[in-house]
């Protein structure tokens, strides 16, 4: 594998972890536009422990993940007091506050940034992405995942069925924050340098678009959305500046024709091996 291909695959894995961190709260009806803030916490937490604390990666990465999850838990309570666009604005403000704090705090390097000495190889990044993917698929298949989807579909009915909506959403926001923090820790150790300017609002919006484009109804959505947004632009690079126009048109058409996302529960059930096998047996029996 060439260095360029390995780099693209590493970015894909980091983006995938980030996207699943946004997906988990989105599955329960929470739109987090402060993802860059959580990724910055993970990146700077791992970077500081590695450069100043001289800790190995098996310490820095879990610690940074837990730190981001703790911050997610703490801010979930005030954020959940808001609704709709106000929740989006609250999470957006959080991300901007974290970026500004890191930019003006010399303790974390300020505008100069921070060098991260320990480097993670592609195999380690891929292992993290695979573990997160399997975890989210499992999580969405549990009672927690089903309850989260029920809240997203109809919160009032979920409350009538005795669901503790607040507890589920706090848990989802905490898990999402931890996963995004993990993506930041892996990013820091992969690129060996971090700066606050990278963790901006554009990054949050772009990764949120991965999730919304792929769909929030199943765990397949972020995987498909991340694949399209990370890999397709590279395949279209030979088209020059026109690739941005084509890519923008594809996004607009997709959102207009399938606002629920590319991958839906109905589509997954329709393409499931059990459903395809039953359809094949029905065709054979009728013939």
Q: Which residue has the higher pLDDT, 282 or 199?
A: 199
- By residue count, the chain amounts to 287
- The CA–CA distances, whole Å, from 241 to 135, 234, 253 equal 38, 12, 19
**Strand locations in 47-124 (E):** 114-115
Token reading at 139: 């999580």
Domains detected in the chain: 3-286 (1.10.3470)
Whether the model pTM is above 0.95: no
Indicate whether 279 pLDDT > 70. no
Mean of pLDDT values over 88-93 = 92
Q: Which pLDDT value is given to residue 175? A: 97
Q: Which pLDDT value is given to residue 265? A: 79
Residue 2 DSSP one-character state: -
Q: Which pLDDT value is given to residue 273? A: 67
Q: Which pLDDT value is given to residue 162? A: 87
Contact 188, 75 (CB under 8 A): no
Task: Give the distance between the most distant pair of CA atoms in the chain.
Answer: 75
- The CA–CA distances, whole Å, from 19 to 32, 86, 204, 223, 254 equal 11, 22, 10, 8, 19
Indicate whether 238 pLDDT > 70. no
Q: What percentage of the chain carries pLDDT values higher than 70?
A: 90
pLDDT bin (cut points 50, 70, 90) of residue 237 is: low
Span 154-200, pLDDT tens digits? 888 888 888 899 999 999 999 999 999 999 999 999 999 999 999 99
Q: Which pLDDT value is given to residue 255? A: 75
Contacts of 240 (CB under 8 A, 6+ apart): none
Mean of pLDDT values over 92-113 = 88
């Amino acid at each position: 594998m060439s260095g360029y291909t390995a780099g693209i695959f590493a970015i894909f894995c980091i983006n995938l972890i980030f996207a699943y961190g946004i997906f988990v709260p989105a599955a329960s009806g929470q739109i987090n536009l402060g993802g860059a803030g959580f990724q910055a916490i993970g990146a700077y937490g791992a970077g500081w422990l590695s450069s100043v604390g001289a800790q190995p990666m098996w310490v820095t990465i879990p610690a940074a993940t837990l730190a981001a999850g703790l911050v997610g838990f703490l801010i979930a309570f005030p954020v959940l007091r808001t609704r709709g666009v106000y929740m989006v604005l609250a999470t957006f403000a959080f991300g901007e506050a974290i970026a500004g704090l890191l930019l003006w705090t010399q303790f974390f390097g300020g505008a100069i940034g921070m060098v991260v000495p320990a480097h993670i190889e592609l195999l380690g990044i891929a292992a993290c992405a695979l573990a997160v993917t399997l975890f989210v698929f499992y999580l969405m298949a549990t009672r927690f995942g089903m309850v989260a989807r029920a809240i997203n579909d109809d919160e009032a009915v979920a409350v009538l069925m005795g669901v503790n909506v607040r507890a589920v959403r706090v848990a989802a926001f905490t898990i999402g924050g931890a996963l995004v923090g993990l993506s930041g820790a892996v990013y820091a150790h992969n690129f060996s340098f971090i700066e606050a300017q990278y963790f901006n609002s554009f990054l949050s919006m772009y990764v949120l678009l991965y999730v919304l484009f792929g769909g929030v109804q199943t765990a397949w959505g972020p995987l498909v959305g991340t694949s399209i947004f990370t890999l397709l632009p590279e395949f279209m690079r030979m088209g020059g500046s026109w690739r941005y126009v084509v890519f923008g048109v594809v996004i607009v058409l997709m959102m207009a024709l399938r606002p629920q996302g590319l991958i839906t529960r109905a589509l997954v059930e329709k393409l499931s091996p059990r459903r395809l096998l039953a359809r094949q047996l029905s065709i054979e029996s009728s013939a």
